[in-house]
């Protein structure tokens, strides 16, 4: 999703791949998309929490062993990120369908615990 708002710019910028789609964040389509993504993200998170708790209870009931959540991450959401567009840093709303963003150790978007340790596996 392309974010720079310009009243005189085309409503839907062109994209380099026909499998990609975009809309300006501040357009009616962009706002509708972000609202739908927020609702879907909330639903998915609640669903993961319920499934996790169900699995915990079943495992503990049958084995006596408790389970701890190690990592919970959505793999289908849109995030605001800065990327180079025509050589200029531009804030974009990026939707990675079925994937999470990968960043190297020490990246500023990582929580402190993870950004300080490149050796965690």
Integer CA distances (angstroms), 29 to 61, 87, 97, 106, 112, in order: 48, 27, 18, 36, 36
Distance CA 49, CA 70 (A): 13
CA pair distance 99, 77, nearest whole angstrom: 9
pLDDT of residue 29: 86
Q: What values do phi and psi take at 8, rounded to 5?
A: -95, -10
How far, in Å, are 4, 33, 36, 72, 115 from residue 9 at the CA level?
Answer: 9, 19, 24, 39, 39
Structure-token pair, residue 120 = 């965690």
CA distances from 15 to 12, 21, 70, 90, 106 (A): 9, 7, 37, 15, 31
Cα–Cα dist 120/20, whole Å: 34
pLDDT (tens, 9 = 90+) of the chain, 121 residues, equals 444 444 444 456 677 777 777 778 888 988 898 899 889 989 999 999 999 999 999 999 999 999 988 878 777 778 888 888 889 998 888 888 777 777 788 888 777 665 455 554 4
């Amino acid at each position: 999703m392309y974010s720079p708002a310009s009243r005189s710019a085309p409503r839907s910028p062109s994209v380099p791949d026909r499998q990609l789609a975009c809309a300006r964040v501040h357009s009616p389509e962009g706002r509708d998309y972000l609202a739908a993504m927020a609702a879907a993200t909330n639903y998915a998170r609640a669903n993961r929490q319920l499934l996790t708790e169900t699995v915990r209870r079943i495992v503990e009931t049958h084995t006596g062993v408790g389970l701890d959540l190690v990592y919970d991450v959505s793999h289908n959401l849109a995030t605001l990120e800065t990327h180079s567009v025509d050589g200029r840093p531009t804030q974009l709303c990026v939707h990675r369908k079925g994937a999470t963003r990968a960043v190297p150790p020490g990246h500023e978007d990582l929580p402190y615990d993870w950004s300080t340790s490149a050796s965690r596996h």
